[in-house]
């Protein structure tokens, strides 16, 4: 039972054996919804409950969010359990094992924190994290996340469209791409001592991809501020691309005229293309991308899931790539 509950299956077990904390969470949700006159966090709470999730874990500060109205932003697939989302991570600055970030990211100091937005913009500016938290209304987005390694999760993120931030700095006519630079501080990040990657971790998008409403500037998950291991205090989430395109712990966002050089592209451009849109037909040179393993389903549904083009966000994003040869721009 505990195994099932940890993996978010409480909803399926049946009301007579619904764990007490889940039951309490539902009652609390209903009570708050009934009392609500305007619903931000309440809607998020209801969305999670609809997915059969337990109460928010309550370890970090709560982050209120309304249910997103952006088309495609709320998958009804069962969310991956909080425990898995926060203990099975890729954050090489804290080590390369999946359990390293949860073990070592406690050393990350997330206040004070600033993000500079610069380059081909009319109003370059450095934003304090407190300003970013208030810049636009927070939304809950329940996205599939597909890692290039062949596993996936469903995560209830909190944030707002990155376009909200980019609009405020007023891109110039020369801006074609956006570069995302993340923190590289060897005093706080033990993994930086390793030369596994060329630090800082840098990623990039085309400007129209960055302005797409699904591209999320993310500050929380599961109703709370982001845990350090998931990229606190602010990260990107681009749900139709492999997970490595979504940089964690952002410190600089730079609009550029030319395509930025990315960390994984520098490490191996044949394996990690600039676009890296999820595509079951384009295999990684060392493994197939046709299927994926949903974390938390191991041993319950042993069959792998088919991977979907653009990670299932085809309706929303395919027009960004109209006329492009996806094999060439992989
Ligand atoms: N960002 C930084 N700065 N460092 C990293 O190692 N790993 C990427 C991405 N962002 C990474 C990063 C990869 S490979 C994935 S799959 C996702 O973060 C994982 O995000 P999660 O651990 O929150 O699930």
Q: What is the pTM of this model?
A: 0.86
Nearest to 237 by CA among 324, 305, 154: 154
What's residue 277's pLDDT?
A: 98
- Determine the atom of ligand 1 nearest the C-alpha atom of 89: 22
- Determine the atom of ligand 1 nearest the C-alpha atom of 153: 24
What's residue 326's pLDDT?
A: 97
What's residue 309's pLDDT?
A: 98
249 Cα: distance to centroid of ligand 1 (angstroms): 10
What's residue 224's pLDDT?
A: 97
Check pLDDT > 50 for residue 218: yes
How far apart CA 283 and CA 293 sit, in angstroms, is: 15
Q: Which residue has the tokens 């809950």?
A: 140
Average pLDDT, the chain: 87
Per-residue tokens: 168: 């405020």
Mean pLDDT of 29-33: 37
Which of 14-23, 120-129, 199-208 shows the lowest per-residue confidence on average (mean pLDDT)?
14-23
31 Cα: distance to centroid of ligand 1 (angstroms): 37
Mean pLDDT of 303-308: 94
Q: What is the DSSP string of 101-122?
A: HHHHGGG---SS-EEEEEESBS
What's residue 299's pLDDT?
A: 72
Check pLDDT > 80 for residue 116: yes
Which of 26-40, 43-57, 59-73, 84-98 shows the lowest per-residue confidence on average (mean pLDDT)?
26-40
pLDDT band at 301 (very low <50, low <70, confident <90, very high): low
- Determine the atom of ligand 1 nearest the C-alpha atom of 200: 3
Q: DSSP 3-state assignment of 26?
A: helix
Q: Answer yes or no: are the C-beta atoms of 143 and 239 closer than 8 Å.
A: yes
> What domains, with CATH codes, occur in the chain?
2-17+56-328 (3.90.420.10)
Mean pLDDT of 207-211: 99
How far apart CA 293 and CA 301 sit, in angstroms, is: 10
244 Cα: distance to centroid of ligand 1 (angstroms): 5
What's residue 56's pLDDT?
A: 55
pLDDT band at 302 (very low <50, low <70, confident <90, very high): low
pLDDT band at 5 (very low <50, low <70, confident <90, very high): very low
Q: Choose the residue to mutate in 98, 248, 265, 267 for probing ligand 1, maximizing ligand atoms within 8 Å of C-beta.
A: 248
Check pLDDT > 60 for residue 4: no
Q: What are 141-175's pLDDT values in tens digits? A: 999 999 999 999 999 999 999 999 999 999 999 99
Mean pLDDT of 269-278: 97
How far apart CA 77 and CA 155 sit, in angstroms, is: 10
Q: Which residue has the tokens 């849109």?
A: 277
How far apart CA 45 and CA 79 sit, in angstroms, is: 13
Between 6 and 121, whose confidence is greater? 121
Which of 19-33, 189-203, 240-254 shows the lowest per-residue confidence on average (mean pLDDT)?
19-33
How far apart CA 207 and CA 320 sit, in angstroms, is: 11
Check pLDDT > 90 for residue 48: no
Which protein residues touch ligand 1 with a CB less than 6 Å away?
89-93, 147, 182, 201, 230-231, 243-244, 246-249
Nearest to 215 by CA among 109, 4, 66, 73: 73
CA dihedral 324, 325, 329, 330 (to 10 degrees): 120
How far apart CA 66 and CA 151 sit, in angstroms, is: 28
Nearest CA to ligand 1 atom 3: 248
């Amino acid at each position: 039972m505990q195994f099932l509950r940890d993996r978010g299956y409480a909803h399926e077990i049946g009301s007579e054996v619904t764990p007490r904390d889940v039951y309490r969470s539902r009652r609390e949700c209903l009570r708050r919804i009934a009392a609500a006159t305007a619903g931000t966090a309440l809607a998020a709470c209801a969305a999670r409950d609809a997915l059969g999730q337990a109460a928010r874990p309550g370890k970090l500060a709560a982050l209120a969010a309304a249910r997103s109205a952006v088309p495609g932003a709320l998958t009804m697939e069962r969310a991956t359990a909080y425990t898995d989302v926060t203990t099975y991570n890729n954050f090489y600055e804290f080590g390369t094992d999946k359990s390293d970030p949860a073990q070592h990211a406690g050393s990350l100091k997330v206040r004070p924190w600033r993000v500079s937005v610069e380059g081909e913009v009319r109003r370059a500016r450095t934003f304090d994290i407190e300003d970013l938290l208030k810049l636009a209304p927070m939304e809950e987005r329940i996205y599939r996340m597909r890692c290039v390694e062949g596993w996936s999760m469903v995560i209830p993120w909190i944030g707002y469209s990155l376009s909200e931030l980019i609009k405020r700095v007023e891109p110039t006519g020369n801006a074609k791409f956006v570069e995302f630079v993340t923190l590289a501080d060897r005093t706080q990040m033990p993994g930086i001592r390793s030369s596994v990657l060329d630090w800082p971790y840098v990623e990039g998008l085309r400007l129209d991809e960055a302005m797409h409403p699904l591209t999320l500037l993310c500050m929380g998950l599961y109703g709370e501020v982001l845990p350090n291991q998931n990229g606190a205090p602010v990260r990107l989430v681009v749900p139709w691309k492999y997970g490595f395109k979504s940089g964690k712990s952002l410190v600089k966002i730079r609009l550029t005229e030319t395509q930025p050089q990315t960390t994984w592209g520098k490490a191996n451009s044949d394996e990690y293309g600039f676009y890296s849109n999820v595509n079951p037909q384009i295999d990684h040179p060392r493994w197939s991308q046709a299927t994926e393993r949903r974390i938390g389903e191991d041993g319950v549904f042993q069959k792998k899931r088919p991977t979907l083009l653009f990670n299932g966000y085809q309706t929303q994003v395919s027009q960004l790539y109209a006329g492009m040869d996806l094999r060439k721009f992989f």
